[in-house]
Structure 1
Amino acid sequence: MAASLAPLDGAAAKAPAPDIAACQPGGPCAHPLPVKVVVVTLFEIGADSGDAAGEFQLWKERRHLDMRIPFPQSYHDLYYDPKTQVLAMVTGIGTARSSAATMALGLDPRFDLTHAYWLVAGIAGIDPQDASIGSAAWARWVVDGDLAHEIDAREIPKDWKTGYFPRHTKGPNDTATPPDPSGGEMFALNPALVSWAYRLTRDVKLPDSPAIAAERARFAGYPNAQRPPFVLEGEQLSAMTFWHGKLLTDWANGWVDYWTSGKGEFVTSAMEDTGVVQSLTYLDRIGRADKDRVLVLRAGSNYTMPPPGEDAATYLLHENEGYAGLQAAVESLYLVGSKVIDELLADWGRYKDSEPR
């Protein structure tokens, strides 16, 4: 039996059925849906609409992504607006799910992704040395934090700061030039596209609240952490372990500095982005996606380390009960990301064949 498309409200029900209604998920499709932008979110809280918003809900509700498209080969069904040709996905948490979901979409013949731009939009831990919760950072590099060697800290040599160090090195004190990161250790995004997105959005006013103002006020001695939310450029470190603390924040800064040869600045911590970008890199080789049309936007829902005077364990466990900046972060992602999408759609005749600069 052919897969069905399930519109979720009256507006979507009035739209003519798209050609892919007769196509099986992953199967051949004579008339694939054209896609201009793919919004990649990583998780949702509860329902897809009508309750507390995770990363996906605002996109679905505010951009009228009412056409539900079955996607059984992945974590979550897809949602699409036939008018704007914007498609949104929820990959599931973690690099394994994000890479599998991205590859599954890229290889699905029901979609024409030839000219699509990909916007990864997710919450993150944010380094208080660089920004405040609620702030949104455009990544220039996406760095993997999992591909490494490790020795338990209780067994490391006395002159080692950490037992965690890059492959191809002789320890954490080895400052040799990084090897070619073809193993997936680091991905450089299209610098012209990232710079364009930042210039377009750097003056966007982001949401603030008394609650997050009180939280950032605790970070005495960290002026960027005490600023109201703002848009910046800064690198994203992907690692499957939810790490936290001053020492690990120092490690993250050193890790990103190493893999970008001193050109990058660690700003946000998350899990999925190297999986997404790795899949798109492979898909680019067969013409199913364009790796130069990828943007990664992360907004701080929590700090990567505690404020002065509080220990890492206490702060982490408290944050796990509910991130202080979660709602501000998802609003920031929508506001900043939508400005980019609106510009792409408004001048699609130009951007279909040539990336913004």
Structure 2
Amino acid sequence: MIDSRFKMPVPRLRTIAKLCAVGAAALTLNSCAYDGVKVIVINMFQGEAQPFIDRYDLKEKVYISGLSPDAPNMLCNYDGICQVTTGMGYANAASTISALLYRSKLDLSHTYFVIAGIAGIDPRQGTVGSAAWARYAVDYGLSHEIDAREMPAGWPYGYFGIGTKGPGEKPPMDYRTEVFQLNETLLQKAYTLSKSATLEDSPEAIAFRKNYAYAPANQPPAVIQCDVASADTWWAGRNLGQRARDWVKTMTDNKGNYCTTAQEDNATLEVLTRGARAGKVDFSRVALLRAGSDFDRPYDGQSASDGLINYAQQGGFVPATHNLVNAAKPLLDDIVQHWPQWKQGVPAN
């Protein structure tokens, strides 16, 4: 907690902030200027946030009006690394990031953002504990839906694009939030820095993977690059999983490669996109990382309902939350250690 009586050497203090006189126990950004935020980690709930808080000693509380009532402070350290917790789902994510951009007096024009959350993962692309950097985020929920029991014969599932006549057709981008593409240079930099990172595992995850007869589902976790489908609905199963694969391909003109599920990403990215148009942030400085905590579809012989309802038995939650920071750390550290270069943009080498 930043207190007006707190004493610290001036050079170190300036690495995170230029503080005005503060009467409250926590620094209130609506009443004074604040700068020096090099990177903000965006998590969705406490289980994702805690490994970052612990690893980076994020003890300084920065109150921003409008953040999640469950996490009303941005947490920072004196290296310029900060963290916010949005709350889960589209509404919470959009509300929190909007408050971060518009309710504070932060200068975030040079700040990097790393969205880091757990996810369901396609067993054909990764395994529980794997951490995936995304190129595309595709909205899984913006679509027509017909109950599968009433869909036309021959349809693979009841979902299809709004304004189209059936599955496989690409809809017009009327919502303008259907697909986001992240900066390729930053993506490759993040992947290159982290691809050899040591990832954690669990005995439960090791045992559960053996139910899958193919790789990479039955292999140890790794840092990978593939894309995310986001929606408020927490779906699961082979048919809906295939729909995610198909939908990402359709919406990215066959350039995307689906692997992870999420409940917030397109909402968060839309706020950051609008913030970029308003001159608040630089969207080219946004990276998206999801770590598999459970498989998005069951193994052969398992029902979809069992796979979803008993997802905790897969043993992926702890490795996934820990591997978010394990995979993000090389990027975060490089940004801080080489800030003069990163402040100008993603370094070429």
Q: Do they fold alike, i.e. is TM over 0.5?
A: yes
Moved more, 307-316 or 12-21: 12-21
Distance 2:125 2:261 in 1: 12
Is the Cα contact below 8 Å between 1:234 and 1:267 reproduced in 2? yes
Structure 1 residue 110 displacement after superposition: 3.0
Distance 2:222 2:323 in 1: 9
Distance 2:192 2:119 in 1: 22
2:168 is the alignment partner of 1:146: no
2:271 is the alignment partner of 1:268: no
The match for 1:306 among 280, 298, 317 is: 298
> AA paired with 2:248?
V
2:338 is the alignment partner of 1:347: yes
2:157 is the alignment partner of 1:162: yes
Structure 1 residue 72 displacement after superposition: 3.9
User: Does the C-alpha gap of structure 1 residues 84 and 314 become closer, same or farther in structure 2, counting only changes over 3 Å?
Assistant: same
- What is the SS of the residue equivalent to 2:232? coil
Is the Cα contact below 8 Å between 1:212 and 1:324 reproduced in 2? yes
Q: Within 5 A, what are the aligned runs for 1:209-248?
A: 209-220=202-213, 222-248=214-240
User: Does the C-alpha gap of structure 1 residues 22 and 295 become closer, same or farther in structure 2, counting only changes over 3 Å?
Assistant: farther
Is the Cα contact below 8 Å between 1:128 and 1:225 reproduced in 2? yes
The match for 1:317 among 309, 315, 330 is: 309
Is the Cα contact below 8 Å between 1:79 and 1:87 reproduced in 2? yes
Distance 1:267 1:338 in 2: 22
Q: Within 5 A, what are the aligned runs for 1:53-92?
A: 54-75=47-68, 76-92=71-87
Distance 1:84 1:26 in 2: 18
Match of 1:278 in 2: 270
Alignment TM-score, normalising by the size of structure 1: 0.88
Structure 1 residue 216 displacement after superposition: 0.7
- What is the SS of the residue equivalent to 1:297? strand
Q: Within 5 A, what are the aligned runs for 1:173-188?
A: 173-174=168-169, 179-180=172-173, 183-188=176-181
Is the Cα contact below 8 Å between 1:116 and 1:289 reproduced in 2? yes
User: Does the C-alpha gap of structure 1 residues 173 and 332 become closer, same or farther in structure 2, counting only changes over 3 Å?
Assistant: closer
Match of 2:281 in 1: 289
Is the Cα contact below 8 Å between 2:37 and 2:80 reproduced in 1? yes
Structure 1 residue 25 displacement after superposition: 5.2
Structure 1 residue 171 displacement after superposition: 1.2
Unmatched tracts of structure 1, length 5 or more? 45-53
> AA paired with 1:302?
D
Structure 1 residue 39 displacement after superposition: 0.4
Match of 1:47 in 2: none
What RMSD, in angstroms, separates the aligned Cα atoms of the two structures? Answer: 2.1
> AA paired with 1:161?
P
- What is the SS of the residue equivalent to 1:298? strand
Number of paired residues? 335
